[in-house]
Structure 1
Amino acid sequence: MADSPSPSRTAAVIVAAGQGLRAGQPLPKQFALWRGKPVVRHSAEALAASGIAPIVVAIPAGAEEVATAALAGIAGIRLVTGGASRQQSVHLALEALTQDAPDMVLIHDAARPVLPVEVIKRLLAALDTAPGAIPVLPVVDSLTTADGAMMGAPARREDLRRVQTPQAFRYADILAAHRAWSGPADAGDDAQVARAAGLAVALVDGDEALHKLTFASDFAAARAPIRVGTGYDVHRFAPDEEMWLCGVRIEHHSGLSGHSDADVAIHALVDAILGAVGNGDIGSHFPPSDPKWKGASSDQFLVHAAKLAGEAGYRIGNVDLTIICEAPKIGPHRPAMRARLAELLGTSVEAVSVKATTTEKLGFTGRSEGIAAQAVATLIAD
């Protein structure tokens, strides 16, 4: 880890009291998972790793349980209920620090999960000569004002900067600025509150990594573009059962024994898809102890697995299935098998591979005691 700043008297505020509706997540975006953790946890961990404490997190009313779970185990965390606006939430969090009376405070938006330690260092160093400091980035695109739907006058990008968080202040100064604010509490950030109180605000270099999560696409971009899962299953032959493979009934002197229709190929493929999205296995979704699945068609298991992949933000890239047996011969049925699997998965036949092999008379498949199948599924982020 890079050397930490020297924050022995530095506290932090994380603003996590909004609803985050534009992000399209099932709960406020600050508590939604991003790269395997709740969004708010990423920056809280970065601040704690830099030795900054306490860390006051402003949360929505009624969100204590989800916030506590999201931040569990991080030292120095305190929760306060935020207000109706960002500015009100920050003010409430700053007031919660009065007994600590830190020298400096970092105020950060939870929606910016990646927080480089070098930015923290630059901000705190700037407070040696100014009461406030903010990270900024240059504007690289050409700019214009808008006249309705028409282009207006040009704007000078050289005079403009993109403002990020965290923003750093001498604690007493920013608390006094919030207390002195008059009018609606609608300031876009704390630098505006500081400026309104006559405080100088220094500019330091920001970082593109401090990107703010705003839309559903920001969360989609965090998903792995490709995920791969594997599956394997075995069923023994049974003389009084039907033979189903890949959703196709095959005439054979024996079928396969199982709680459902024992379609060993589909079962392997279901496990491959569930494995790719990290969602258990076929037994956890369709337990053989449940009489509801007695004799059930395995088609519905595969449809369910594909649906779960879709809900996780993935579509079928391709599937590759190998059936291992001495008999029946798979080749004559391969076109029908591929077509049926493609139909169940909602994908093209070209994305479905069905192969067969023997074990040269070795093992239980070689002794014609049963059939094994192994599958690989590749999922692509939508």
Structure 2
Amino acid sequence: MDNRLSTGLGFDAHRFASDSRPLFLATLQWEGQGIEGDSDGDVVVHALIDACCAAADLGDIGSLFGVGPQSLGSGMRGDAMLSTVADMLRSRGCTLRSASVVVVGNRPKVGPRRVEAQQALGSILHCPVSLTATTTDGMGFTGHGEGIAAMANVLMDVART
């Protein structure tokens, strides 16, 4: 089978929730204020899914899971969503080579759990995953502590059809 290299870029952003829902990021539960969203609001997972979809020409997370409280992804955990996409990619002959994600926000602090998060994501995607974090020096909604964002890039082998 002949493959081609493909890259994909994904982005996601959510505001912090006003209720007591748990905070999920990179498939892990963290201390602190949860994130609003139809699913668990895991911006790292959502950005990775969009990047994978872009590289494999599968649309985006909304076209796979829907949007809104009645969607397929409603209430779904990020690890389950990412596993579904990883299985879909493998069934289409796609192989992820690497993934890189940057989290943009003031909290949670990613550094202390970086390796754990990279391993959790890598075990689902079956590839090396790099996770970094940055702030916006007080600018914008992430800098004001209103929410969190993530940008992801993936490199994959895509089966030619």
TM-score after normalising by structure 1: 0.40
> Which of the pair has the greater relative contact order for Cα pairs under 8 Å at 6+ separation?
2
2:83 paired with 1:306: no
* Counterpart in the other structure of 1:100: none
2:7 paired with 1:228: yes
1:274 to 33, 38, 53: 53
Deviation of 1:311 after TM superposition, in Å, equals 2.4
Q: Where in structure 2 are the equivalents of 1:56-135 lying within 5 Å?
A: none
Deviation of 1:298 after TM superposition, in Å, equals 1.4
2:140 to 345, 355, 363: 363
Instruction: State the aligned residue count.
Output: 157
1:341 to 105, 109, 121: 121
Task: Determine the C-alpha separation between the residues in 2 that align with 1:294 and 1:306.
Answer: 19
Q: 1:292 to 1:314 in 2, by over 3 A?
A: closer
Task: Determine the C-alpha separation between the residues in 2 that align with 1:314 and 1:285.
Answer: 17
* Counterpart in the other structure of 1:352: 129
Q: State whether residues 65 and 71 of structure 2, in contact with CA within 8 Å, keep that contact through their aligned partners in structure 1.
A: no
Task: Determine the C-alpha separation between the residues in 2 that align with 1:368 and 1:272.
Answer: 25
2:104 paired with 1:324: yes
Q: State whether residues 66 and 72 of structure 2, in contact with CA within 8 Å, keep that contact through their aligned partners in structure 1.
A: no
Q: 1:364 to 1:297 in 2, by over 3 A?
A: same
1:259 to 6, 13, 38: 38
* Counterpart in the other structure of 2:65: 286
- Moved beyond 6 Å, runs of 4+: none
Q: State whether residues 100 and 129 of structure 2, in contact with CA within 8 Å, keep that contact through their aligned partners in structure 1.
A: yes
TM-score after normalising by structure 2: 0.92
2:30 paired with 1:237: no
CA offsets per residue over residues 159-206 of structure 1, 9 Å max, x none? Answer: xxxxxxxxxxxxxxxxxxxxxxxxxxxxxxxxxxxxxxxxxxxxxxxx
CA RMSD of aligned residues (A): 1.4
- SS state at 1:344 partner: helix
Task: Determine the C-alpha separation between the residues in 2 that align with 1:380 and 1:331.
Answer: 30
Deviation of 1:366 after TM superposition, in Å, equals 0.4
Give unpaired runs (5+ residues) of structure 1. Answer: 1-219
- SS state at 1:308 partner: helix
Give unpaired runs (5+ residues) of structure 2. Answer: none
CA offsets per residue over residues 88-122 of structure 1, 9 Å max, x none? Answer: xxxxxxxxxxxxxxxxxxxxxxxxxxxxxxxxxxx
